Amino acid sequence: MGPVEVLWAVLIGVFAMVGVVRGYPKELGVTTTILAGLLLLTKGGESALVVVDSFLVRNGQPSAAFEGPYSELIQALFYILVFVAIVVISYHGDTLAFTGVPPRGPVGMMLNLASGFLNGYLISGTIWHYLHTFDYPIQVLGLFRPPLTDFAQNYLVPLMPVPLLEPYLLFLVPFMIVMRVLR
Amino acid sequence: MNLPFEPAMLQYLIVIATALTASTMIGLKRGWRGQLMAFIPIVSVWGVLQLKTEALVATVNSTYKGVLFFASCGSQADTSACLESSGVAHAMLVDPASADQSRLLLLLLFVSAVVLAFTFVMRLGRPPTSLVQRLLGAVLGVANGFTLSYLVLPLLSYGQRVNLPVVSATAEGELPNIASNLPSLFDTPQVSVAVVILALIVLFVFVAVRLMKPMEV
C-alpha cells in the first residue's frame, strides 16, 4: 500500500464527484448528519465503548476493548464502523437533505463540487484521525505500515477535522439544522 | 499540536490567497478588459515606487515638516526661532536610513493603489457580455493574482528572513525548521487554523443556502 495521503486524496476526489452528481442540497444534508455523528462520537463514543466492554466483562469475557493485543484495533474499528454506518445511512436516504435545487451553470457546479469536497474531507479525515489516534491498527492486517511521509506528518495530520472541529461541533450542528429550517 | 506554519509563512499565504481571490473576482465581474484596466496602473505604480523611493521618502518628510510647521509655528511671530526650538527643522516621518520604514511606506502606498484600482474597475467597468469573456477574465485574474503577490511579498517585514518566493529543494527542506528558529512568542496557535476552517464551512453553507432555488412543482 502506498502513502496513506494518496488514499485520502483519492477518497476526497471520489466524494467530490459524488457531490457533483447528487447536488449540494442533498450533500448538505449529509454534512449535517456527519457533523452530528462526529458530535456523538466525540462526546459519547468512549462512554459507549466502556458500556459495551463492561457488559462483556460482566459476562465472564476479559476486557477486549481496553486491554489485550487487539485493543487498539477494536477501539479504532468501533469508532470507524459507527461513523461509516452513520455516513451510509446519511447517503442512503433524503432524510436531512435541504429542500431546493442548485442554481444552473458553473456556480451550481462549483457549489456541488465544494459540498462533495467538504464531505470527503470530513469522512476521510475522520477515518484517518481514528486510525492515527490508535496508531494505525490496520497494520495488524498488513494494510499499512507507519511512519507517515514528512508531508503528511507536517501538513495533513494537523488538518484532520476531528481535533480541529471538536470544540465547535456544538455550534455547527445547530447551525446546519437552523439553515435547513430557514431554507 | 501546532501547525508548522510560522507567522511569515501564514502572512505569505494570506497575501497570496487575498490577491488571488480579489483578482479572480475582478476578472469574473469585469472580464479581461477590467483586468487590463486594473493591472496596467498597478504595475506602473509599482515601477514608479521602486524607481523613486528616495524622492518619495523626501516628499513625505517635507510634507510632514510642512504640516508640523503650520501646526506648531503658524501662529508664532518669529517662525525661524520656532522652527529650531520646536524641532520641526529635524523632524522626519520616515527615516531614510531605515530600510524597514521605507518599505512600510512603499507597502502602504502600493496597497492603497491596488485597492483604488480595484475599486475604480468595479465601479466604472462593465460586466462581460459572455461566459467565455468572464472565464477569460478569471484566468487572467489568477495570473495577475500571482503577479500581485509577487509584487507585494518582498515589501512584507518577513521578506528578508525567508526566501519563500523562490521554490527550490533547499527552501522546501528548510521550511519546517523556520518555526523552531523563531521565538516561541510567534508560534501560530492551532485555533487559528480551526477558526479558518470553521469560517469557510459556515460561509459556504450560508452562500449555498442563499443561492438555492425553490423546487419546481
User: pLDDT tens digits for B167-192?
Assistant: 444 544 554 454 454 444 444 444 56
- Mind listing the pLDDT tens digit for each residue in B31-65? 888 888 888 888 888 888 888 888 888 888 888 88
Average pLDDT, chain B: 76
pLDDT tens sequence across B102-158: 888 888 888 888 888 888 888 877 888 888 888 888 888 888 888 888 888 888 765
Task: Give residue B1's pLDDT.
Answer: 47
Grid cell at residue A21: 452528481
Question: Taking CB atoms and an 8 Å limit, are A159 and B1 in contact across chains?
Answer: no
| Residue at A100 is within a domain | yes
Q: What is the per-residue pLDDT for A60?
A: 65
List the domain range (segments joined by +) for residue A172.
4-177
Assembly ipTM: 0.87
pLDDT at B173: 53
pTM: 0.53
The mean per-residue pLDDT over the stretch B65-84 comes to 76
Q: What pLDDT shows up at residue B57?
A: 87
Whether residue A182 lies inside any domain: the answer is: no
Residue A43 lies in a domain: yes
Cβ contact (<8 Å) for B215 and A24?
no
Taking residues A113-135, what's their average pLDDT?
Answer: 93
Q: Do B209 and A28 touch (CB under 8 A)?
A: yes
Say what the pLDDT of residue A33 is.
Answer: 93
Distances in Å between the alpha carbon of B126 and those of A21, A128, B32, B121, B139?
34, 48, 11, 8, 18
In tens, the pLDDT along A59-102 reads 666 666 777 777 888 888 889 999 999 999 998 866 788 888 88
Q: Is the Cβ–Cβ distance between A79 and A41 less than 8 Å?
A: yes
* A103 min Cα distance to partner chain B (Å): 6
Q: Which residues of B touch A164 (CB under 8 A)?
A: 190, 193-194, 197
DSSP bridge pairs for A101: B213
CA torsion angle A37 A40 A45 A49 (round to 10): -90
Selected residue of A150, A155, A164 to mutate for chain B interface (largest B Cβ count, 10 A): A164
**How far apart are the C-alpha atoms of A32 and A176, rounded to whole Å?**
6
Q: In this structure, is residue A96 part of a structural domain?
A: yes
What interhelical angle do A4-22 and A106-133 show, nearest 10?
140
End-to-end CA distance of chain A: 44
Contacts of A183 in chain B (CB under 8 A): 209, 212
- Domain ranges for chain B: 7-211
Q: By three-state DSSP, how is residue B100 classified?
A: helix
**Would you say residue A166 lies in a domain?**
yes
Residue A37: pLDDT above 90? yes
Question: Which triple of cell numbers denotes residue B30?
Answer: 469585469
Flag whether A183 is in a domain.
no
For chain B, how many helices (H) and strands (E)? Answer: 7, 0
Q: Is the CB of residue A176 less than 8 Å away from at least one CB of chain B?
A: yes
pLDDT of residue B167: 45
